[in-house]
Amino acid sequence: MNLADTEIVLGILQNYGYSVTKEPEHADVVLLNTCSIRENAEQRIYGRLGNIKTLKNDNPNLVIGILGCMAERLRKDLIDKKKMVDLVVGPDEYRRLPELIDTAIGGEKGIGVRLSRTETYDDIIPYREDGLMAWISVMRGCDKFCTFCVVPFTRGRERSRSLSSVVKEVEQLSQRGFKEVSLLGQNVNSYFDGSNDFADLLAACAEVDRSMRIRFTTSHPQDLSDKLLYTIAAHPNICNYIHLPVQSGSNRILKLMNRTYTIEYYLNLIDKARKIIPGVSFSTDIIAGFPTETYEDHLMTLEVMREVKYDGVYMFKYSPREKTKAYDMGDDVPDEIKTKRLQEIIELQQQISYQINQDLIGKEEVILIEGFSRKSDNFLSGRTDTNKVVIIPLSDLKAGDYAKVKINRATHATLFGEFIEKVTYDKKSALTT
Ligand code: 5AD
Ligand code: SF4
């Protein structure tokens, strides 16, 4: 989400005549886009700011700015108390950046931290370097108010872009040769532009270019509709991969988290999705050590992981965030216990991922080639529809090609295969080999 926001910011600044430098020492303005979701994300920014401030020794006119969720949350601290930055701009005020940078250049602090009920940056063309994959932010904010989460406070209320503007962006990306688009929102399932829901949006994006893969994140289990599942099933280029955060396997904890579903509902949803979309895979988010979480609650989370067999899990230690309801519940699970539970979650997931990958040995998959493998130029790396990395020996395939491969070997994180044949998709019609 922040990468997509950064591209919007660069788009706005480019329109105003700025350009990007890769060398911090050459910059007139340095902007850090920040995240407040957990405390360590904020701590990292304070570290970075310390480094960047040294650039001011050589360039006293350098403007240093904080963007994003921390701006909204820590304006006073950053500007008044710590006097660390010249500019603080929250996620809904990026249109004012050129003006606020001018203010900072003039020697005053540039501050814009109001949240908006309507801003979607619908008309801004994000600055993107050429490549294969692009993010498109389709909605902003969140109305769910999970009790642990600061997002509704830092990013404000839910609002959606128009279907037509998103489709136009996908068309432009297709013309530029992009092969994969990820539609982004805190809860894309509640996308609604006044007449179209998220399933409509997904279908419209998929129909732009059949040779382009469409991904999306994040789905809240409460709003994942049957219509959406049937839409994914009906479009071969919508990836069979759903990120469906469960957070905990315990109904008591889910209730305290205000997640608004029970684990039985969640597991039923997974079953239903698997029936409607054969071969669909899931990833999830899990929080270890939410207030009052007992060992039994933790075991229930491990049980859900065994039952669902996620392809991937993003795992976090609970981090108390001011303003949230959970903040008032205290933070009573000691850090060592959080760490231990997190470790058990990580280890279990590694076993599950290993088993899922072993079961793929001997099977054929279609991958999108992304380039050389990270470890060696003698190998190419690509991804399956379900987002798994596959390494194959070098051939005359190039980044952006699709290839059918056979899987020969697997670790918990990577598949290794051999090239079978190139696959081409006609932009507008069905699959052809
Ligand atoms: N502590 C730990 N993890 C959190 N997340 C959100 N807020 C917190 C928090 N206070 C996790 C959730 C969410 C993901 C984006 O970040 O699992 O789904
Ligand atoms: Fe935060 Fe919950 Fe909204 Fe996700 S759905 S952004 S966890 S409040």
The DSSP result for 232-256, as a single string, is HHH-TTB-SEEE---B-S-HHHHHH
Tell whether ligand 1 has an atom less than 6 A from the beta carbon of residue 425: no
User: How far is residue 144's CA from residue 194's CA, in Å, rounded to a whole number?
Assistant: 19
Q: Is the pTM of this model over 0.85?
A: yes
Per mean pLDDT, which range of 20-34, 80-94, 101-115 is the poorest? 80-94
User: Atom of ligand 2 at shortest distance to CA of 186?
Assistant: 6
Q: With a cut of 50, say whether residue 430 has pLDDT above it.
A: no
Which two three-digit tokens encode residue 220? 């809240």
Q: With a cut of 90, say whether residue 81 has pLDDT above it.
A: no
**pLDDT at residue 79, rounded to an integer:** 80
CA of 399 to the centre of ligand 2 (A): 35
pLDDT tens for 181-215 read: 999 999 999 999 999 999 999 999 999 999 999 99
pLDDT tens for 143-155 read: 999 999 999 999 9
Tell whether ligand 1 has an atom less than 6 A from the beta carbon of residue 284: no
* pLDDT > 70 in the chain, percent: 98
Q: With a cut of 50, say whether residue 49 has pLDDT above it.
A: yes
Helix (H) or strand (E) holding 287: strand 281-288
Name residues whose C-beta falls within 8 Å of residue 294's C-beta, 6 or more positions apart in sequence: none
Q: With a cut of 60, say whether residue 433 has pLDDT above it.
A: no
* pLDDT > 90 in the chain, percent: 91
**pLDDT at residue 166, rounded to an integer:** 98
* Averaged pLDDT of the chain: 95
Q: With a cut of 90, say whether residue 74 has pLDDT above it.
A: no
Tell whether ligand 1 has an atom less than 6 A from the beta carbon of residue 65: no
Tell whether ligand 1 has an atom less than 6 A from the beta carbon of residue 245: yes
Average pLDDT of span 229-237: 96
Tell whether ligand 2 has an atom less than 6 A from the beta carbon of residue 220: yes
Ligand lying closest to the C-alpha of residue 36: 1
**pLDDT at residue 431, rounded to an integer:** 38
- Regarding beta strands 389-393 and 379-384, do their DSSP bridges make them parallel or antiparallel, or are they unpaired? antiparallel
Which residue has its alpha carbon closest to ligand 1 atom 7? 149
Closest residue by Cα to residue 398 from 209, 211, 176, 132: 132
Q: With a cut of 50, say whether residue 72 has pLDDT above it.
A: yes
Tell whether ligand 1 has an atom less than 6 A from the beta carbon of residue 331: no
**pLDDT at residue 10, rounded to an integer:** 97
Tell whether ligand 1 has an atom less than 6 A from the beta carbon of residue 191: no
CA of 364 to the centre of ligand 1 (A): 35
Q: With a cut of 80, say whether residue 432 has pLDDT above it.
A: no
- Contact of 230 with 204, CB cutoff 8 Å: no
Tell whether ligand 2 has an atom less than 6 A from the beta carbon of residue 145: yes
Which two three-digit tokens encode residue 364? 């054929």
Tell whether ligand 2 has an atom less than 6 A from the beta carbon of residue 152: yes
User: Atom of ligand 1 at shortest distance to CA of 314?
Assistant: 17
**pLDDT at residue 319, rounded to an integer:** 97
- pLDDT band, residue 218 (cuts 50/70/90): very high
- Regarding beta strands 431-432 and 110-112, do their DSSP bridges make them parallel or antiparallel, or are they unpaired? unpaired
Taking residue 88's Cβ as centre, other Cβ atoms within 10 Å add up to: 28
Tell me the β-bridge partners of 135. 182
User: Atom of ligand 1 at shortest distance to CA of 326?
Assistant: 10
Q: With a cut of 80, say whether residue 428 has pLDDT above it.
A: no
- Contact of 416 with 403, CB cutoff 8 Å: no
Helix (H) or strand (E) holding 358: helix 335-358
Which residue has its alpha carbon closest to ligand 1 atom 2? 318
Q: Where are the beta strands (DSSP E) in 318-378?
A: 364-372
CA of 152 to the centre of ligand 2 (A): 7
Helix (H) or strand (E) holding 161: none
The DSSP output letter for 403 is E
**pLDDT at residue 426, rounded to an integer:** 81
Q: With a cut of 80, say whether residue 51 has pLDDT above it.
A: yes
Ligand lying closest to the C-alpha of residue 288: 1
User: How far is residue 1's CA from residue 184's CA, in Å, rounded to a whole number?
Assistant: 7
Helix (H) or strand (E) holding 39: helix 39-53
Residue 61: half-sphere exposure toward Cβ, Cα within 13 Å? 8
Which two three-digit tokens encode residue 229? 């599942």
Helix (H) or strand (E) holding 423: strand 414-425
Tell whether ligand 2 has an atom less than 6 A from the beta carbon of residue 221: no
Tell whether ligand 2 has an atom less than 6 A from the beta carbon of residue 265: no
Which two three-digit tokens encode residue 321? 């965030």
Which two three-digit tokens encode residue 41? 């994300």
Sign of CA dihedral 184, 185, 186, 192: negative
Ligand lying closest to the C-alpha of residue 316: 1
Tell me the β-bridge partners of 403. 367, 422
Tell whether ligand 2 has an atom less than 6 A from the beta carbon of residue 30: no
The DSSP result for 81-136, as a single string, is IS---SEEE-TT-GGGHHHHHHHHHTTSPEEE----SS---TT------S-SEEEE
pLDDT tens for 282-328 read: 999 999 999 999 999 999 999 999 999 999 999 999 999 999 999 99
Helix (H) or strand (E) holding 216: strand 213-217
pLDDT tens for 386-413 read: 999 999 999 999 999 999 999 999 999 9
- Contact of 73 with 36, CB cutoff 8 Å: yes
Q: With a cut of 60, say whether residue 429 has pLDDT above it.
A: no
User: How far is residue 320's CA from residue 111's CA, in Å, rounded to a whole number?
Assistant: 26
Testing ligand 1's pocket by substitution, the residue of 2, 35, 38 carrying the most ligand atoms inside 8 A of its CB is 38
- Regarding beta strands 431-432 and 241-243, do their DSSP bridges make them parallel or antiparallel, or are they unpaired? unpaired
CA distances for 318 relative to 143, 149, 286, angstroms: 21, 10, 9
Ligand lying closest to the C-alpha of residue 35: 1
Which residue has its alpha carbon closest to ligand 2 atom 2? 146
- Contact of 317 with 288, CB cutoff 8 Å: yes
Testing ligand 1's pocket by substitution, the residue of 242, 261, 285, 324 carrying the most ligand atoms inside 8 A of its CB is 285
With H, G, I as helix, E, B as strand and everything else as coil, classify residue 415.
strand
Which two three-digit tokens encode residue 352? 């599950």
Per mean pLDDT, which range of 78-92, 209-223, 411-425 is the poorest? 78-92
User: How far is residue 307's CA from residue 188's CA, in Å, rounded to a whole number?
Assistant: 25
Ligand lying closest to the C-alpha of residue 333: 1
